[in-house]
Amino acid sequence: MVDYHAANQPYQYGPSSAGNGAGGGGSMGDYMAQEDDWDRDLLLDPAWEKQQRKTFTAWCNSHLRKAGTQIENIDEDFRDGLKLMLLLEVISGERLPKPERGKMRVHKINNVNKALDFIASKGVKLVSIGAEEIVDGNAKMTLGMIWTIILRFAIQDISVEETSAKEGLLLWCQRKTAPYKNVNVQNFHISWKDGLAFNALIHRHRPELIEYDKLRKDDPVTNLNNAFEVAEKYLDIPKMLDAEDIVNTARPDEKAIMTYVSSFYHAFSGAQKAETAANRICKVLAVNQENEHLMEDYERLASDLLEWIRRTIPWLEDRVPQKTIQEMQQKLEDFRDYRRVHKPPKVQEKCQLEINFNTLQTKLRLSNRPAFMPSEGRMVSDINNCWQHLEQAEKGYEEWLLNEIRRLERLDHLAEKFRQKASIHEAWTDGKEAMLKHRDYETATLSDIKALIRKHEAFESDLAAHQDRVEQIAAIAQELNELDYYDSHNVNTRCQKICDQWDALGSLTHSRREALEKTEKQLETIDQLHLEYAKRAAPFNNWMESAMEDLQDMFIVHTIEEIEGLISAHDQFKSTLPDADREREAILAIHKEAQRIAESNHIKLSGSNPYTTVTPQIINSKWEKVQQLVPKRDHALLEEQSKQQSNEHLRRQFASQANIVGPWIQTKMEEIGRISIEMNGTLEDQLSHLKQYERSIVDYKPNLDLLEQQHQLIQEALIFDNKHTNYTMEHIRVGWEQLLTTIARTINEVENQILTRDAKGISQEQMQEFRASFNHFDKDHGGALGPEEFKACLISLGYDVENDRQGDAEFNRIMSVVDPNHSGLVTFQAFIDFMSRETTDTDTADQVIASFKVLAGDKNFITAEELRRELPPDQAEYCIARMAPYQGPDAAPGALDYKSFSTALYGESDL
């Protein structure tokens, strides 16, 4: 004979039992190992044995009565093995081998062995329990065997929050009794002595059966009897314990209490299923509500950004020119203010919108929901297209502004040049018509006629010399018209007047010459010296006038080379002054020689040279004026040279900074690209590193601000080119915006990978393995795999996608999952989404429908009252507002269709 204690130890499951229990609470061997202290003296406590006999007997009868029988004495009635086999058939629902009906000991032993073999087939390893002890009526061995059956069929499959068997049952009791005062379930013995825990279990599930507030902790017998009677009468749970035995025992038998409590668990299992179903639904609805809020936020942000772009583009496309440089400069300043103040926040909003969109799509994928499709016109691609249109308009507007300012500057220069030349010409023509119309030759002497002819010849020479100026005036007026000068009307009027006057002068000159030539035959003598003087004085005078005009001519240059060219031309002009001075002295010598001859021959001269109005005083006066204008021209050119040197300094200053900032931005873009494909540490380490990297980029912003200040100085100086650098401010701005957007997107990708990893339960090692596999086949480090690269990656991970019909079909199925848009590329995010779906479980529409069906009591519809009873208020109302009325033939008043609602959560819907 083997004593009960020795037989009690091996009541444990073998290695195969770990997979049979629900949840992760450990094997029955672990549980039984904790029970070694139940009977340290190798004897069962008499009080415990009494409780076990009563409890185990009642438990066995609760099942045997389903077969129309029962036992009276637990250690006697199982000796022939017949009722033992019957009990196992009832509780397992399976058929055992046919029992032997003989009365001999061998027949009884064979029947008991069949029962024990069946228990062992269920993963229970029975050690030191033999059929002979049961047939011989060994009470302790029989109780141990029944306890093993109870553990296997009534307790092992209990699972609550990933704990199973005894711990799962204890956790269930603690959760159900937590709201009740004076109840603190910590075990299966002392915690149940006052009876309140039993009453709390019943009241929690059937509050109408128990008046819990009237129970007193100091009256345990009444409490226990109340619970036992209510359980037997209303819950069909037989009375397995005696109140007096429990109260009078220092420590009630744990096995007896567990057996009885397990009956309550199974009696209320339907309610447990409903609670589990409600929890699942709450989880699904919470995810959906959060996603809806994210969708609404995206739609609002996208609408605001698109509205701003649509308001801004017409302003940038307004190309109505202004009349003055000042007005156009104000437009340019408004545009700079837009660049500095108004646009940067919108760049940040656009970047944040893309990040929000990517985060939302990741959450939808993780919750097995369809991808979010923004309303028409609000896709990220739509916003990018609008943004590109904005930047094109922006670039065109800036180019137009600068070209228009150049045009107006050119117009002002031409207009001033026109006025200067016109004024000089008009001053020259003043009185010329009256002179040409004068008929002085009719009464003049021969000498006077000759003088008049020579004078007229000199005038014609002077007139021809002025032809170029008139043509220049007309050409400038024509150019002003072509450039759409705002005061073209007055310019044209003045130019026409000059041209008409010039034609009149030509006609009058021709008429006067004919008159003079008609009388020339009667004239003989002319003072050759005066004539020579007049002929040389006129072009010299015209040269001086042209020189004065050139010396006073306005100039506009944009580079140091241009001003140096003007200075060189001016120096060349100054080099001709000595020759001009010698010509002046020669002309004056002719005049002096005429006077000397007249004096030596006692000839009385009537006055000034009759052939020209250009007197020596005029020549000397104009020569002095030229001498004065030369240093003024020197000063003006030097000032402009200083200005251009300053501009050159601004160019070099900007180029020096741009040649640092531009390569820095490019380097950072390349470094971010390398970071995004490397594996260094955990995702959290990578995220921390990227955020530090982002802070270093933000800290670099003062260098960009300095460059903006230098660029503004360049624009204010009207500098339009810079040969010292290939970087423009526009290139720098675009590069900076791309850099900020790229680092933000990279951070968002890592955050989404963390979100995916945590939601799917992916370990850091798995994530690193995924990244290593992906990077290995991403040969060009472009962040995406082509179809052949992805297929090679799958083969390396053990997928059967070789080139045959079955492999191609499987590969096409996988590609439709990772590349639904058929772009021909698989991103890393899509890759880890696929790998996580392959290894983890997610809620499905069928699971949600099954959960609603539990809450609905197995009906095809659910009512608002049932939803409000089973779900938290906000989620209950959420469902009620969105569920359509149920239209089935078994519909009841107020019936709601939970099936279509659940399907909509995982498919196309309005949600």
What domains does the chain contain, in order, with CATH numbers? 60-281 (1.10.418.10), 287-410 (1.20.58.60), 764-829 (1.10.238.10), 845-906 (1.10.238.10)
What the block records as the tokens of 519 is 């009388």
* Average pLDDT value over all residues in the chain: 81
pLDDT at 44: 56
Task: State the pairing for strand pair 159-160/163-164.
Answer: antiparallel
Q: How far is CA 342 from CA 336, 456, 703, 705, 730, in A?
A: 10, 71, 20, 16, 16
Q: Per-residue confidence at 505, pLDDT binned at 50, 70, 90?
A: confident
Taking residues 34-51, what's their average pLDDT?
Answer: 53
pLDDT at 40: 34
What the block records as the tokens of 508 is 């009058």
Taking residues 64-81, what's their average pLDDT?
Answer: 88
Least confident window among 27-31, 52-56, 253-257, 467-471: 27-31
Has this prediction a pTM greater than 0.85? no
Q: Which ranges of 151-268 would DSSP assign to H, the alpha helix?
A: 165-177, 196-205, 220-234, 243-247, 254-267
Task: State the pairing for strand pair 12-13/159-160.
Answer: unpaired
pLDDT at 521: 55
128-142, 186-200, 412-426, 830-844 — which one is most confidently predicted on average? 186-200
Q: What are phi and psi of 321, to 5 degrees?
A: -75, 155
Task: State the pairing for strand pair 895-896/826-827.
Answer: unpaired
778-796 pLDDT, tens digit each: 777 777 888 888 888 888 7
pLDDT at 127: 65
Q: How far is CA 202 from CA 177, 222, 227, 396, 399, in A?
A: 10, 15, 8, 80, 83
Long-range contacts of 723-726 (CB under 8 A, 24+ apart): 723/651, 724/651, 724/652, 724/655, 724/656, 725/654, 725/655, 725/658, 725/659, 725/662, 726/662
162-171, 348-357, 589-598 — which one is most confidently predicted on average? 348-357
pLDDT at 441: 64
pLDDT at 144: 85
pLDDT at 17: 31
Q: Per-residue confidence at 412, pLDDT binned at 50, 70, 90?
A: confident
Q: Which residue has the higher pLDDT, 429 or 226?
A: 226
Find, among 371, 376, 209, the residue nearest to 302 by Cα. 376
Q: From the CB of residue 762, how many other CB atoms can be counted at a distance below 10 Å?
A: 21
Predicted confidence (pLDDT) at residue 525 exceeds the cutoff of 70: no
Find, among 531, 532, 623, the residue nearest to 584 by Cα. 623
825-855 pLDDT, tens digit each: 888 778 777 777 766 555 678 888 888 888 8
812-823 pLDDT, tens digit each: 888 888 888 888
Predicted confidence (pLDDT) at residue 603 exceeds the cutoff of 60: no
Q: Per-residue confidence at 42, pLDDT binned at 50, 70, 90?
A: very low
Taking the CA atoms of 805, 811, 816 and 822 in sequence, report the sign of the dihedral they define.
negative
| Percent of the chain at pLDDT exceeding 90 | 10
Predicted confidence (pLDDT) at residue 811 exceeds the cutoff of 90: no
Least confident window among 126-140, 522-536, 751-765: 522-536
Q: Per-residue confidence at 678, pLDDT binned at 50, 70, 90?
A: low
205-240 pLDDT, tens digit each: 888 999 988 899 899 999 899 998 999 888 888 888
pLDDT at 159: 67
Predicted confidence (pLDDT) at residue 60 exceeds the cutoff of 90: yes
Asked if 723 and 329 count as a contact pair (C-beta separation under 8 A), the reply is no
Least confident window among 4-8, 93-97, 290-294: 4-8
Q: Per-residue confidence at 7, pLDDT binned at 50, 70, 90?
A: very low
Predicted confidence (pLDDT) at residue 19 exceeds the cutoff of 60: no
| Percent of the chain at pLDDT exceeding 70 | 88
374-409 pLDDT, tens digit each: 988 888 888 899 999 988 988 988 888 888 788 777
Taking residues 297-303, what's their average pLDDT?
Answer: 90
Least confident window among 238-247, 457-466, 549-558, 707-716: 549-558
Q: Which residue has the higher pLDDT, 447 or 691?
A: 691
526-539 pLDDT, tens digit each: 457 777 878 888 89
Asked if 256 and 38 count as a contact pair (C-beta separation under 8 A), the reply is no
Q: Which residue has the higher pLDDT, 861 or 450?
A: 861
